[in-house]
Amino acid sequence: MIEYMEERTKVVIYARVSTSTQDYTRQITELRNYAWKQNYQIVKEFSEKISGGKKIEERAAIKELLDFVKSNKVEKVLVYECSRLSRRQLDFLSIIEQLTEARVSLYILQNGLETLLPDGRSNPIANLCFGIIAEFNNLEKHLIRARVSSGYEHYRASGGRVGRKEGYRKSEDEYRTTYDREIALLQKGNTLADVRAITGTSINTLRKLREKYCVVC
């Protein structure tokens, strides 16, 4: 007697945080646990540290995900919550549309919502909810910007100053201590672009360091 193993549903995981100091480990762990409970096969995980307000074209991981699922017979994309996908309303809906056209279902763990029904048809209730959530995320993004702008203007109106204190300059020792790694890399002959890629220091600052500390750089 021949036994046929049931083919497992192929899924990918996507996680995002907004800044380099944040961590997406919890998102990935929760999504992995869900996939294992459903007996899904995780074929790839995508993650990035970038603002959800950035356009799709500026987000390498989400672009790679969209290309990957279209050419690797992926059936579902698992995301922890809606704003992880995008905080831009049009981009959020565009991602859903692209996945739907590729017959790939989007599942949002926090809401338990999925874009496609088991028979492959679009889920009208989920898509209605996603439209509302996208509008809410868009509104929240604008409210955050408005609060930041209001706080900034209030601070300035109250006499606050933005930026470095007037007349303040780093001492020679402070300068060398702060940028000792950059100086060492420049003195070894590395280009400004290479040092910037390694340290994250701006090109203008690196140029000043090279002029000040590198005789033959």
Q: What is the mean pLDDT of each run of 10 residues along the chain (217 residues)?
A: 68 92 92 96 95 89 94 95 86 91 94 91 87 71 60 60 52 73 77 77 82 65
Phi, psi dihedral angles at 49 (to 5 degrees): -115, 95
User: Sign of the C-alpha dihedral, residues 43, 26, 112, 82?
Assistant: negative
1 in any annotated domain? no
Q: DSSP characters for 174-189? A: HHHHHTHHHHHHHHTT
Residue 192 is predicted with a pLDDT of 80
pLDDT, position 64 = 96
- In which domain, by residue range, is 49 found? 10-137
Query: Of the residues 78, 111, 137, which one is the last residue of a structural domain?
Result: 137
Residue with tokens 């360091």: 209
Inside any domain, residue 87: yes
- CATH code at 21? 3.40.50.1390
Identify the domain boundary among 110, 137, 164.
137
Q: What is the pLDDT of residue 200?
A: 76
User: How many domains does one find in the chain?
Assistant: 2
**Longest Cα–Cα distance in the chain:** 86
pLDDT of amino acid 169 = 57
- In the prediction, which pLDDT does 54 show? 87
Strand runs (DSSP E) across 50-151, as ranges? 76-79, 105-108, 113-114
Claim to verify: residue 121 and residue 182 sit in the same structural domain: no
**pLDDT, tens digit, 9 for 90 and up, residues 142-192:** 665 566 566 556 556 666 554 555 554 556 667 677 888 888 777 777 778
- Per-residue pLDDT, 28: 96
